[in-house]
Structure 1
């Protein structure tokens, strides 16, 4: 996953545990979502048809914890830098982009199975200096 700080807020300094992934309805998220999202739900949106920020704001208004965008129709392994539109709006939830290949697998599972996808979103210390990272157990830090 590639986070986008220009479309949504940064991911917090703690990990999310026990979040549930749901597929957006409508899938592109260009209109208000009809999903009834709870406080621990992450929404998966399809790329295209409107700006990234429009999608993320609609996910936020529906109650999503995090919004993830993918291009499951193309199904590639490329990441896309999600940037804001000309309105310079920003959503109040974290947002990230998932490659199309991964997004396709997630979408197909959500649409064609009866199971849930439970997520644990770990801490991202990629850009942090080790001296600035609070004391964590090895499995959280590395």
Structure 2
């Protein structure tokens, strides 16, 4: 009968709970997992970069940010409290994968006042693959967006960032609304 509900079958309920606990399913489609950032300056890295959201921690962007600072975290691995909090506060912080969990890095970025954290692959040759960032076994909650950036993109960006002079970015951007003549992807990246 239409409109009547019956309890879910035990096997369906088990599948959902298993999927949620193991894979962190939280209702996002695959398309929602990718975000784009436009670097406006410095001009040597002024391209549009594709990033992947964390699988099961962090939040989505609630705003589109224009002309926001992108800064390198100190230490760059983000495994300890960030020492450049004055630069990180109110900015996007770039950290590098490795040595501790993604949640630890994201928590340290959030504690320093970052609006979001971008974690670049530590494999500088990676210009194609995205790592799926998953939570650790702690109970820490991350309340900022956490994004993964391919290694070659992260390496190029970090090479041009001065510890005291940030890059200027727009994030997240809708690439379908950018005129083709303004859409510049990094020449080293496979799209």
**TM-score after normalising by structure 1:** 0.78
Residues 72-83 of structure 1 correspond to what in structure 2 (within 5 A)?
A: 72-77=122-127, 78-83=129-134
User: Could you tell me which residue of structure 2 aligns to residue 92 of structure 1?
Assistant: 143
Greater radius of gyration (CA): 2
Shift in Å, 1:10? 1.5
* Runs of 4+ residues deviating >4 angstroms: none
Q: Which has the higher helix share?
A: 2
Q: Does 1:103 align with 2:154?
A: yes
Match of 2:92 among 42, 52, 55: 42
Paired residue secondary structure (2:57) = coil
Shift in Å, 1:17? 1.0
Q: Which runs of 5+ in 1 are unaligned?
A: 126-137
Q: For 1:119 and 1:106, locate their aligned partners in 2 and report how far apart those are by CA, in whole Å.
A: 12
Residue 6 to residue 92, structure 1, CA distance change in 2 (3 Å)? same
Q: Which runs of 5+ in 2 are unaligned?
A: 1-50, 179-191
**TM-score after normalising by structure 2:** 0.59
Shift in Å, 1:91? 0.8
Number of residue equivalences: 125
